[in-house]
Amino acid sequence: MSRTRLLRTTSFRLATIYLALFTASALALSAFVYLSIRHEILADFDERIVEETDALQTAFAKGGRERLEQILEARGEGGGGFSYGLEGPGGTLLSGELRAPAGGAGGWMEAREAEDDEAPEAKPEIVRALATRLSDGSILVVGDEQRRSNEILRGVLSAFGWAVAATLALGTIGGLWLSAQFLSRIDSMRLTARRLMAGDWSRRIPLSPVDDDLTALARTFNRLFDRIEKLLIANKQVSADIAHDLRKPLASMLRRLEAARDGDASPASVSAAIEAAIAEIEGVLETFNALLRIGQVEAGARRAAFRPLNLAEVAREVVEAFQPAAEEEGKTLVARLDAPLPMSGDKELVVQMIANLLDNALRHTPPGAGIEVAGKRTQGGISLTVVDDGPGVAPDELKAIFQRFYRAEAARTPAGTGLGLSLVAAIAELHGLECAASDNCPGLRVTLTTADEEE
Amino acid sequence: MKILVVEDDEETADFIATGLEARGHEVTVAKDGREGFERATADRFDVVILDRMLPQLDGLGVVALMRAEGVSTPVLFLTNLSGIDDRVDGLEAGGDDYLVKPFAFEELMARLSALARRPTLGSSPTVLKAGDLEMDLVARTVRRGGEDIDLQPREFRLLEFLLRSEGRIVTRKMLLEQVWEFHFDPKTNIVETHISRLRTKIDRGREVSLIQTVRGAGYTLRVPNPAA
């Protein structure tokens, strides 16, 4: 998996956007917190300076300048974090090292420690200081090195920096990880698709245990592949069947014509061979026409020509057309089609569907058999059954009768393309009808019912 | 008959032209749609045989242009396509009949003569007669030699079609299409059994039988020439 692909994934792009937003908000939050802390710390510092100044002023009030100088001396050695300066009225530094501002005004200031004689190069420390004019005209300066507050703030700042950096790092790693996860699942889909394209139609996308949208997508694809595989197998089967079905008449044609060529060549035998060959060719053409018709119906292009029609009326017309033929064969053909059966369809095809069912019933029943075409309205729509009391179809073959080129083992009918009921099934499906065969005990029952609406 | 054959496939065109000429018809062959259209408008033909798929201008286009020019010569479409829509398209474009290749020559002949003698609109008679057979289309009665014959509605339609085509051969396919509106060939002998019933009702017990079977071609309703 190449790096650029990882960076180009949808999940990584999303992760990056989220990361940017999150980092921005983390930065904003840090800035706010930093500024608040800084404000608090500085206020705290100022308060400490004011308190110290107050304490020193109290000492001054009690013990005068000497006392103050003593205290300053002691503090200067002991530390406590403050630095001091006491300037006499003439501007001389009496104690400490902080100089008062020029002009002798009191108040807050940025003071600078007096230069250290021993290390003149050292940069003087800047301190925040409060200058107070005492009653004897001298000025007391109390300062605190800002170093400490700066150190604290620097600490806070670096903590925030690390946090943002960690966020960025974690987010990037997380984004890459998510993308890798996503990519690996996409890759498994791509790999499966490639295998399928290479001809391995049994392949399916492995489903992740997490039932998310990608899994749902994979499941949908797998169903699609199931359908394609089924169609491919059916297609292969049909090609094989066509080849098989054509070989027989072609071989027999060849045999007859060769026999006619090599035989006595009497006009009678030659014309008999020609007649037989024509009959075989007509049979082959009939097979092709039936296949083409099934193909067209299955392609579904005819739906545009659908009109409302009454299936009962159409069925009655077809039954009427078949009546004399049935009677001639000594069979009873009955129509029970009193209720109107409204549907939307292509009349020409519906007529052919019913005619094929009757053809089938008449062909596979002995003289004396009874055939009934009955219609009724069901909860979900309509239903039409064609029933005979002939020998029927073996239970394990019932499902197969709608397949192309299927001819029942028991059926010894000579001609027939084996496509009549396939066309019935194709037309039924085009019209949203479910086609089922069952045992009529005895005989065959074919039922066409309005199929349930697909989910 | 004067027949125009518009067909780009030489073998088929030859087959049709030779067959028609052998039967005494005058045949003109056009090799593409444009030529076919020019010939059809320049000259008068009894019928045009028109292939659906043609170079330059396809069959549908030729018919549409012919009709737009006011040429009402009957057109029989020939096609390799056996699509259900193709027949409808052909008829809607202005064609009069439709035949799918490959076809038996007898089928073509029967359809050509039916087309060439198609009665002009507005002059359809209300009573059809053949010999002593009389069919009243308004009263919906059939009599032969003054005797009423009771027919089922479909038998009536069958006889009507045979009477309208009197003297000409009608094929099984034509009957299926015209009488039953079946545009496919059922395995069951629908036509044969109906004809046989009709014959029983019309011809039984009479010296002259009107409905005859033409072997290998179809049926014809004909009053036999008494001299023959």
Neighbours of A395 (CB within 10 A): 10
* Cβ(A423)–Cβ(A370) below 8 Å: no
Distance (Å, whole) CA B194 – CA A322: 9
Distance (Å, whole) CA A75 – CA A55: 12
Distance (Å, whole) CA A260 – CA B175: 36
Whether this prediction's pTM lies above 0.90 is answered by: no
* Cβ(B98)–Cβ(B85) below 8 Å: no
Q: Tell me, yes or no, whether A308 and A356 share the same domain.
A: yes
Domain boundary among A245, A264, A299: A299
Q: Tell me, yes or no, whether A331 and A286 share the same domain.
A: no
Distance (Å, whole) CA B152 – CA A177: 82
Crossing angle of helices B59-68 and B33-42, in 10° steps, is: 30
The confidence score (pLDDT) of residue A348 equals 87
The confidence score (pLDDT) of residue A415 equals 55
Domain boundary among A276, A299, A322: A299
* Cβ(A360)–Cβ(A402) below 8 Å: no
Lowest-confidence pick of A339-348, B107-116, B123-132: B123-132
* Cβ(B136)–Cβ(B126) below 8 Å: yes
Write the single-letter amino acid at A312: A
Query: Which residues, other chains included, contact A322 with Cβ-Cβ below 8 Å and sequence gap of 6+?
Result: A333, A355, A358, A362, B186, B188, B190
pLDDT at A357 over 70: yes
Domain residues for the domain of B184 are 127-221
Q: Tell me, yes or no, whether A352 and A276 share the same domain.
A: no
What was the ipTM of the complex prediction? 0.85
Residue-wise burial string across B166-180, b where 16 or more C-beta atoms lie within 10 A, e elsewhere: bebbbbbbbbbbbbb
Distance (Å, whole) CA A312 – CA A316: 6
Interface probe for B, chosen from A352, A354, A357, A424 (most Cβ of B below 10 Å), is A352
Q: Tell me, yes or no, whether A438 and A322 share the same domain.
A: yes
CA angle A354, A282, A427 (to 5 degrees): 25
Region B36-56: what's the mean pLDDT? 91
Q: Tell me, yes or no, whether B109 and B134 share the same domain.
A: no
Domain residues for the domain of A71 are 3-113+125-150
Region B103-116: what's the mean pLDDT? 89
To the nearest whole Å, the CA of B30 is away from the closest chain A CA by 28
Crossing angle of helices A147-197 and A213-262, in 10° steps, is: 20
pLDDT at A455 over 50: no
| Closest partner CB to A362 (pick from B102, B188, B196) | B188
Region B150-162: what's the mean pLDDT? 92
Considering only CA atoms, which of A337, A300, A236 is closest in space to residue A428?
A300
CATH of the domain at A75: 3.30.450
Contacts of B88 in chain A (CB under 8 A): 305
Region A124-144: what's the mean pLDDT? 80
- The separation between CA A118 and the C-alpha centre of its own chain, rounded to angstroms, equals 77
* Cβ(A214)–Cβ(A208) below 8 Å: yes
The number of distinct structural domains making up chain B is: 2
Interface probe for A, chosen from B79, B88, B157, B187 (most Cβ of A below 10 Å), is B187
Q: Tell me, yes or no, whether A247 and A109 share the same domain.
A: no
Alpha helices in A87-129 (DSSP H): none
Hey, are the CB atoms on A420 and B180 less than 8 Å from each other? Answer: no
CATH of the domain at A242: 1.10.287.130
The confidence score (pLDDT) of residue A147 equals 67
Domain boundary among A254, A274, A299: A299
Neighbours of B198 (CB within 10 A): 25
Distance (Å, whole) CA B59 – CA B69: 15
Hey, are the CB atoms on A321 and B182 less than 8 Å from each other? Answer: yes
Percent of chain B scoring above 70 in pLDDT: 94
Q: Tell me, yes or no, whether B104 and B6 share the same domain.
A: yes
Residue B210, judged by CB atoms within 10 A of its CB (0-12, 13-18, 19+), counts as buried
Q: Is residue B228 part of a domain?
A: no
Distance (Å, whole) CA A44 – CA A50: 10
